[in-house]
Amino acid sequence: DTGVSQNPRHKITKRGQNVTFRCDPISEHNRLYWYRQTLGQGPEFLTYFQNEAQLEKSRLLSDRFSAERPKGSFSTLEIQRTEQGDSAMYLCASEQSTGNTEAFFGQGTRLTVV
């Protein structure tokens, strides 16, 4: 257990539905990252927050995706109008900012869109 918690662990949804995932980082960490991982590939960066500010978004993050970290603590990732191509593992990570430090990952949320 790294201390980063993600819920739910698994989500099956029908195409077109909206889904929301939650990440609770390690409490003293001010940086929070979202990654997406498809089968057989390494994780790909989606977005990250420093405290409540969203500092960078990947081109992978289409307008159907939105992420928030309202009080600089937990974060949510919402996918609207899900598509089959959204099926993946969504990973959250946190770290104490300064760079050159390790990131701690949660267990991920596996999304299956049917």
Partner 1 sequence: SQQGEEDPQALSIQEGENATMNCSYKTSINNLQWYRQNSGRGLVHLILIRSNEREKHSGRLRVTLDTSKKSSSLLITASRAADTASYFCATGYNTDKLIFGTGTRLQVFP
Query: Residue 62's CB: how many other CB atoms inside 10 A?
Result: 12
Query: Which residue among 11, 29, 31, 69 contacts partner 1 (CB under 8 A)?
Result: 31
Q: Which residues pair with 15 in a beta bridge?
A: none
In the complex, least distance from residue 47 CB atom to partner 1, rounded to whole angstroms: 9
Among 29, 67, 27, 62, CA closest to 48: 67
How big is the chain by its Cα radius of gyration, in Å? 13
Task: Tell me the C-alpha distance between 19 and 14, whole Å.
Answer: 10
- 3/16 with CB nearer partner 1: 3
Per CB under 8 A, does 33 bind partner 1?
yes
Amino acid at 48: Y
State which of residues 88, 103, 111, 113 lies at the interface with partner 1 (CB under 8 A): 103
Residue 99: how many CA atoms within 13 Å on its side-chain side? 0
Residue 67 or 93 with smaller CB distance to partner 1: 93
The site map against partner 1 for 61-90 (x = CB under 8 A) is: ----------------------------x-
Sites of contact with partner 1 (CB under 8 A): 2, 4, 6, 31, 33, 35, 40-45, 48, 56, 89, 91, 93, 97, 99-108, 110
